[in-house]
Amino acid sequence: MELTTLTLCCDQSLRENDARLLRGFFGQRYKNRVEFHHHGPSGLLYQHPLIQYKAIGGVGRVMGLESGSFLVRALPVIDTLNLNGQTLNVLEQNRNTETIVFGATEAPVKYQFLSPWFALNQANHQRYNKLNNRAKRQDLLSRILIGNLNSLCKSVRLTITDRLKANLYIEKPKSIEIKSGVILTGFMGTFTVNFQLPPLWGIGKQSARGFGTVRQIKE
């Protein structure tokens, strides 16, 4: 599995929520490639995004997996970013392409969420709120997480024959306004699952905009 990461160091540090502005910048520039903006003729595409945008440690990242990797590799040198009307000069940029291990594993792998994971859609949000104890809620979230991984596998045409098992250790959920008038429930914490994810990849809703980004914890 191929992963390409373009890092962009600018004359101003990027904030975590600037990832959505990065998506807007590249989406506008490459309107003819849906992978960059994740919108088709009928609206938002309901599939796992293979190009994701991050702002981690003040540095912008454009990450592409499989077909997304090819597109990120093909991007020209970028001198400036226009983010919400503000021009930022790109002082340094690096592009790294690597072959990564991806898919089901024999032993569980531990991960930490670096940004809020938006697990719940409207239907399972109601189910989550009706559950009256922590264990049942954790079980629901575990099943949703496995669903997120299956969606990722489907997007890269990888068939998983092993049964995935996840255990979550989630903190108290937070309500996060992702844009004016739109509030989602975000989860932070750690989890284990018998699956190897790409480094710093995102899962769940809004993952193209930097949410649900995970880091492997090596013990």
User: What are the residue boundaries of the structural domains of the chain, listed by start?
Assistant: 2-99, 103-217
Out of 38-42, 55-59, 88-92, least confident range: 38-42
The per-residue pLDDT for range 142-189, each reduced to its tens digit, is 999 999 999 999 999 999 999 999 999 998 899 988 877 888 999 999
- Cα 192 to Cα 167: distance, rounded to the nearest angstrom: 5
Topology agreement, domain 2-99 and domain 103-217: yes
Give the rounded percent of residues in the chain with a pLDDT score beyond 90.
80
- Token readout for 131 is 């559950």
On whether the 2-99 domain is CATH 3.30.2400, my answer is no
103-217, CATH topology level: Alpha-Beta Plaits (3.30.70)
Within 8 A by CB and 6+ apart from 182, the residues are: none
Is residue 153 within 8 A of residue 164, CB to CB? The reply is: no
- Res. 114 pLDDT band, cuts 50 70 90: very high
How much is the pLDDT for 111?
A: 98
- Cα 58 to Cα 85: distance, rounded to the nearest angstrom: 19
For residue 194, pLDDT beyond 90: yes
